[in-house]
Amino acid sequence: MGSLDPGPALFFTLVMITVTAPLWLWTSENGSWHFLTVPEEQSGEIRAQAFAGPRGFGSVRVEAAINGVTWRTSVFPQKSGGYILPVKAAVRRKAGIAAGDEVTVSLQLL
């Protein structure tokens, strides 16, 4: 009898990025949105993921966590470098954060 060959092994490395930054508000005539900025110097892994599996607007899927509140969303590239993370109202309420607060977020690339 021959040996069972499972074939090539696939290994996935979970990439976790932690950022501390102010939560900021962007307002237009169509509404307002809250964001955190992932600085350019912490965006290398995100950029690599964007090139590996391109999505609309250069976005990258992430699982984000702030103050024990976890949700899935995407980060979006900025023209000036870095990425922005939208933080919806339900997350802000549960996490107890508001615009201007210094917030620590953990991002796991999906």
The amino acid at residue 83 is: Y
The residue with tokens 């090139």 is 51
State how many domains the chain has.
1
Residue span of the structural domain in which 61 resides: 16-109
- Residue 92 domain-assigned (yes or no): yes
Number of helices (H) and strands (E) in the chain: give both, helices first. 2, 7
Average pLDDT rounded to a whole number, residues 56-85 = 93
- Residue 57 domain-assigned (yes or no): yes
| CA dihedral sign of residues 100, 36, 17, 67 | positive
CATH number, domain with residue 48: 2.40.30.100
User: What is the band of 3 on the pLDDT scale with cuts at 50, 70, 90?
Assistant: low
pLDDT tens digit sequence for 11-62:
555 789 999 999 999 999 999 999 999 999 999 888 887 666 667 778 999 9
Residue 88 has pLDDT above 80, yes or no: yes
The pTM of the full predicted model, rounded to 2 decimals, is 0.82
Residue 92 has pLDDT above 90, yes or no: yes
